[in-house]
Structure 1
Amino acid sequence: MELKTDLTLDAKGLACPMPIVKTKKTMKDIEAGQVLEIQATDKGSKADLEAWAKSAGHQYLGTIEEGDVLKHYVRKSSGEEEQEKKHPNVVNNENLDALRKNDDVLVLDVRESAEYGFEHIPEATSIPLGELEERADELDRTKNVYIVCRTGSRSDLAAQKLTEKGFENVYNVVPGMSDWNGETTKL
């Protein structure tokens, strides 16, 4: 079955956050109700685009895998353009580095497992954004949760998700691992 779309965006070969950055830009150029097909090869793009679409008020329709290519379908929201939600509690890398070894701190890395494996903060717990919904109960709700990703986009979405699930002390770390100068380790 061929799916009818209004526009196709080629984001193949791009890593996070570029598929979302290009999608945001393209969504501004299409009309409400139109469907955008985003072609990507980044495996993390499914969870990223689904979460972004929800936070931006657009309708995530689904993803079809064709070989190495993920075809994501997003319908632009109708009516008034909703303002993209941002998690209000943000800290920078330096603040996290100063706090990360405290007993009341939980560092949560929501990047894909391969990203985490090649370099991560030693104390960080790895739960990729796409698994956070079903694995949130593994986290200690009594701790201050500092969420890190590569640039602050996925961690922002993760912070919103945990807050919706009743976590009280949740912080998005910006800019995240793309500019982390603190201690790291590899698997």
Structure 2
Amino acid sequence: MVGAVSRTVDVAAESSPWSPREAELLAITLRLLQEHGYDRLTVDAVAATARASKATVYRRWPSKGELVLAAFIEGIRQVAVPPETGSLHGDLLRVGQVICEQAHQHGTTIRAVLTEVSRDPALSDAMQHQFLDQRKAMLELILREAVARGEISESAISDELWDLMPGYLIYRSIIPNRPPTAETVQALVDNVMIPSLTRPVE
């Protein structure tokens, strides 16, 4: 089971589904998003900056929402790499720290992506399969490796845990004036995640 999850995570983290030219277009999209925000981003600007035609962009990503989602997922693809610190506590802290870093860097993009996903079922499916499922696989690997080390019982792993850390940290990153910090991650891991995973199961 652990091996299967590991292979899934490794492929997600190390290989890109895009050609070098497509990856360049996505990188430009992400940069323009960070500079101008979603509302002011245009496919015209992406195409002009990349010295490509609009037809080239639309041929691969038929809508602005699809382009932005692809750019966001590609931009944070390396977050899917398991930290492998040697302990559950260390792994969870590192995952939380990386989520905070990415949320700080891509906060505006995250808000835009969540808005577009709520409007478009196709984008919602893409978000689920290309982003959420991969992050769940990474967290599953971390927890099952903790089981193998004897740190927690397998019965402590619950589907309710998958979204707890990323969900809370991303929530904090998109509400005004309450960005998550290292202290936020420490408190979440020490006071919520670890106690939930190590308490005796009745």
TM-score, L = length of structure 1: 0.28
Q: Higher helix share goes to which structure?
A: 2
Q: Which has the higher contact order (CA 8 A, sep 6+)?
A: 2
TM-score, L = length of structure 2: 0.27
Q: Higher strand share goes to which structure?
A: 1
